[in-house]
Chain A
Amino acid sequence: MSKNPIIKIENLYVDFPVKGGLPFQKKKHISAVSDVSLEIYPGETFGIVGESGCGKSTLANAMVGMVKPTGGKVIFKDKDLFSLNRTDFKKTRSDMQMIFQDPFSSLNPRFSVFQLISEPMFIRGGFTKKEMEQRVLELLKLVGLDEKDLHRYPSDFSGGQKQRIGIARAISLNPDLLICDEPVSALDVSVHAQILNLLIDLQEHLKLTYVFISHNLAVVKNVCDRILVMYLGKVMEFGSTKAIYKNPLHPYTNALISAILDLDIKREKTILKGDIPSPIDPPKGCRFWQRCPYAMEGCIDIPAPLLEVEENHFVACHKLSGFNEEQIKNGLDKRINKDE
């Protein structure tokens, strides 16, 4: 894939100030996204995986410009999103759309299906009512809803159907990039497959590019071409889905994969100790060291660099990158003894 990337993120940082504390005290910050760079190519599905608080949603929000980054750039279609003026920004951004996790709160209960799906067209303007209706009917068919549903309200629909409406709204303006923020995790299990299949079909049909955010590695595996694993705002591992599943190199990815309760394979499981630490003032070195079964002295203070270990497979772990001679002399390569 040597094409031009559709969206490119360069060294993105997003910090949030923590509320509370006295006015004269130093403000604390949540480091939600820290030094993330990536490129997404047209037509692919890019997965961002991690647990709650890992910054995956913040990253997605920064991509679409809903959150202003504290550092770094988001370049969408060769335009730096945050240096554009207001009108250009809006115009550029409307080529990116989002599908939300909770279909119950993502549809305005006061809008009919027609109003919901045609809202983006209405905002852009230049459509007659007839055109809009035509297009909405087309979209309804595309996402597997009935024409009769046109003038019904969200409360009449089940979770899965609501999500279909959400998808129809997102694709109504023919966007290039669709960001799916946990599109199935709020739905009933038996509906998951429907929605995922619909997304896959739409991608083929409309030549969409997806950014697929999920906490569930199993879902991501079938859908995504490449995966980015995040933990506490940092990239842990990054590469093609095949490579990562065949050979997870980072201990965290390994744990995530083994946490999937697979029906078929009864494999040895690594269960991580401890909890996800608070994103306020995260660990200085490797952000994962407190829970890492292989943590070494050096992991505490020195952040692990993101290294390309295979072609298109990046890992940030000291176990792979190792330490230099001086550091080894100082005993930084010693395993931290964890009292079991």
Chain B
Amino acid sequence: MSDVLLGLKNLKVIFPAQQGIVRAVEGIDIDILKGECVALVGESGCGKSVTSLAIMRLLNTPPALIEVESINLGGDEITKYSENKMQDVRGKQISMIFQDAMTALNPVMTVGKQIDEVFIKHNKLSKKEARIETIKALRLVGIPEPESRAKAFPHQLSGGLRQRVLIAMAFACMPKLIIADEPTTALDVTIQAQVLEVLRNMQKSHNVSLLLITHDLSVVAHTADTVYVMYSGKIVEKAKVEDLFREPHHPYTEGLLGSIPRLSDTTKHFVQIPDSVPHPMFKPTGCYFHPRCKYATDICKEKMPPLVRLDNGREIRCYHPINFSGGENNE
């Protein structure tokens, strides 16, 4: 198990509120290997962003309450770190790329300065040395004329460039792990392709682990190695990316894959999942997916299925998994 970079065990996050308790994350385990790209896929409100912030220990208590068995980063247990020590970890060992670069960058500070800060904090460089490094970092992510762009304010850059600045900032100290929270969602399609390309190249060439958080399975297809599918605060399926796309075991995954329009499709209608995601405060009994599941039986309504770890490394939480050799729901 020495090649596990980040081991997250049994993370639970809840948000108490006046009307009740929001169970955002209900005990999830995630392992990220060195140099691997792991994708955490789920729809809005499934707790994927909360998970990423919990790993960085950036969730504020209150409003959040967190219980976690262990967050192990390269052999060190970071749950026991003091806030000061944690500050040395953030940006240096784990860093983050946020969804909307427009709001994630300080509007009144030049982008160069914002990247300088990382070098000044972690590499103890002077301002001048930091700027040299910053320009190097900007060039690395393919920003043309990095010297002048470093002096620009965020609003003076286009969306694609801003996102690249965030990537440069995340890769500044070459951390062991980068968490990218919906890094391309806010971008145009052609720009999205550029940014994903940059992200993937950076990750592969510097052998950094990447936790990619997204709702878009098609982004995952060409980027990730391992995929975790999350639904309503629980992991419902884990698999290698090829396995997942070839034969999804969980009905939810099947539904997600079906709702992505493919160029090769010939029918006019889409495969659809009925209904919508349950409210995190009022989740159904039993399997959270059962009201939307076409395979649901009585047991699904009563009891949450356990997470089953298969010997080929896949995980699945379902009473009636599909696409199994010998499974009950094969067409």
A contacts B: CB pair < 8 Å: yes
Partner of A189, one of B193, B194, B217, B267: B217
- Is B148's beta carbon under 8 Å from chain A? no
Q: Which residue of B lies closest to A194 (CB)?
A: B272
Q: Restricting to A240-280, which residues have a CB under 8 Å from any CB of B?
A: 245, 255-266, 269, 271-273, 275-276
Partner of B189, one of A160, A161, A215, A262: A215
A261→B222 contact, CB < 8 A:
yes
Chain B contacts for A276, CB-based, 8 A: 158, 188, 190-191
A265→B264 contact, CB < 8 A:
yes
A244 to chain B, nearest CB (A): 12
List 5 additional contacts besides A51-B191, A188-B43, A193-B270; criterion CB under 8 Å: A188-B215, A261-B193, A262-B264, A263-B257, A276-B188
- Is A218's beta carbon under 8 Å from chain B? yes
Counting chain B residues whose Cβ lies within 8 A of the other chain, the interface size class is 35 or more
Partner of B245, one of A258, A263, A275: A263
Q: Restricting to A178-212, which residues have a CB under 8 Å from any CB of B?
A: 188-194, 196-197, 200
Counting chain A residues whose Cβ lies within 8 A of the other chain, the interface size class is 35 or more
A272→B190 contact, CB < 8 A:
yes
**Interchain CA distance A262-B262 in the complex, whole Å:** 6
Chain B contacts for A262, CB-based, 8 A: 218, 221, 262-264
B198 to chain A, nearest CB (A): 10
Q: Is the interface of A mostly helix, strand, loop or mixed?
A: helix
Q: Which residues of B contact A (CB under 8 A)?
A: 43-44, 158-161, 188-194, 197, 215-219, 221-222, 245, 252, 255-265, 267-274, 276-277, 292
Centre residue among A216, A256, A260, A263 by max chain B CB count within 10 A: A263
- Is A222's beta carbon under 8 Å from chain B? yes
Number of A-B contacts (CB under 8 A): 125
A259→B193 contact, CB < 8 A:
yes
- Is A70's beta carbon under 8 Å from chain B? no
A261→B257 contact, CB < 8 A:
no
Centre residue among B252, B267, B268 by max chain A CB count within 10 A: B268
Chain B contacts for A215, CB-based, 8 A: 188-189
Q: Restricting to A156-194, which residues have a CB under 8 Å from any CB of B?
A: 158-161, 188-194
A264→B259 contact, CB < 8 A:
no
- Given known pairs A193-B270, A271-B193, the reply for A52 and B188 (CB within 8 Å) is yes
Return 6 A-B CB contacts under 8 Å, by A number: A158-B277, A192-B270, A196-B270, A259-B193, A263-B217, A273-B194
B264→A218 contact, CB < 8 A:
no
B222→A194 contact, CB < 8 A:
no
A158→B276 contact, CB < 8 A:
yes
- Given known pairs A189-B256, A190-B43, A271-B197, the reply for A197 and B189 (CB within 8 Å) is no
B263→A275 contact, CB < 8 A:
no
A334 to chain B, nearest CB (A): 23
Partner of A245, one of B158, B263, B271: B263
